Every structure is written in C-alpha cells, then in structure tokens.
Amino acid sequence: MSPGRWRLPWRVLVRASTPGDRGLMLASAVGIVALGLLLEGPPGSRLQVFRDNRLVATHALGGTAGWSVDGRLGPVIVEIRQGQARLREYRSPRLIGTRTGWIGRAGQVAACVPCGVLIRVEGGPSPADADLDAVSE
C-alpha cells in the first residue's frame, strides 16, 4: 500500500507533517484525554462503600460496575452507572436503601441500616439543594 521505501516511521511523520499538523495532533490528544476524564465523572468523583462503618471499597463513579457486599442480612448489590450509584438490597425489611435510588452528588448517602451497609459519594458536583447544611427530621 505505501509506495516508496519504508523509513523509520518517526522521520516519515516529521517529514509528512507541518507544524500546524503537529500542533493539532497535540491539541487533539489533550482534548481526547480531557474528554475521557470528563466522562469518567468529575475529577475525584468516587463512591465509598462502608460495612459496619468500616470503609471496604472505593470505586470511581465513571463507567459501569456492579458488585456484591456482604451485609448483615445477606448480600447487598452496589451498582454504578453513568456517574451515579445505588444500592439494591433483597433481604431488608423496609428497603430504604434501595428506595433512596441513584445518588451522584457530593455528600449524598444511601444506606441499608439493618444490613450495616452505607455508600457515599465523595467529590463531584455538589447537590442541588446545597444551600442546606442539614435537615432536621
């Protein structure tokens, strides 16, 4: 396919490209990396998983993932999708942890209290009602 003799690819590249080309190569490489980081969720956006108040796992909030944590009442599933996480428990009386639904903003928590499992978002965007520091209920 390529006519002519094969030289060292590097030298060919340098000969074939203009300074403008090389600038574009660099800029687009940076852009792609930045896009990758951006889509992974905001920098530092992580999910912490606690079992009986001990940190048992940390996971980035990007991409898709799911695994099982051994809770006091049986397995609890932790799911991550598109920068958010949720709990799905199958053996908890009131399913409050599951009913909390997807969390993705800094400080948000979902917990199954009888299972002893808690997940928390660290870093990432602050919640929409960040103007409240705490709620008495």
Partner 1 sequence: MIFCRRTPVLLLILALLATGCSPTAQPVSRTTTRLLMGTLVSITTWSLPTNASAWEEQERQGVDAAFREVARIEGVMSSHRADSPLSRLNQAPRGIAHPLLPELADLLRRGLEVTNASGGAFDMGLDPLILLWGFSREPPPQTVPDPQRITAWLEHHAPGGLTLSGTVEQPLLRLANASHGLDLGAIAKGYALDRAVAVLQEQGIHNAIVNAGGNLRTIGAKGDRPWRLGIRHPRQAEGVMAVVEVDRPLTMVTSGDYERFFIHQDQRYHHIFDPRTGYPARSGLISVTVQAEDGTLADALSTALFVLGAEQGLALLRRFPGSEALLMLEDRSLRRSAGFIGQPVAEP
Partner 2 sequence: MIRPPRSRLEADLLAAHLAAAGVAAHVLEATLPGLGPWFKPGLANLFTLVAFFHLGWRTAVAVALIRVVAGSLTVGTFLSPTFFLSLSGALGAVAAMGVGGLLPLGLGPVGLSLLAALAHMSAQVVAAFFLILGHQGLFLALPWFLAGSWVTGIVNGVLAFLILERLAPNQASPP
Q: Which does 107 bind (CB under 5 to 8 A by kind): partner 1, partner 2, none?
A: partner 1
Contacts of partner 2 in 21-50 (CB under 8 A)? 21, 23-25, 28-29, 32-33, 35-36, 39
Angle at Cα 135 formed by Cα 132 and Cα 137, nearest 5°?
165
CA distance 63 to 36: 11
Residue from 44, 63, 66, 101 that binds partner 2 (CB under 8 A)?
Answer: 63
Q: Is residue 109 part of the contact set for partner 2 (CB under 8 A)?
A: no
CA distance 73 to 98: 14
Q: Is residue 4 part of the contact set for partner 2 (CB under 8 A)?
A: yes
Q: Is residue 13 part of the contact set for partner 1 (CB under 8 A)?
A: no
* 76 φ/ψ angles, rounded to the nearest 5 degrees: -120, 130
| Exposure string for 58-78, b = 16+ CB within 10 A, e = fewer | ebebbeeeeeebebebeebbb
Residues interacting with partner 2, by CB under 8 A? 1-4, 9, 12-13, 15-21, 23-25, 28-29, 32-33, 35-36, 39, 62-64, 81-82
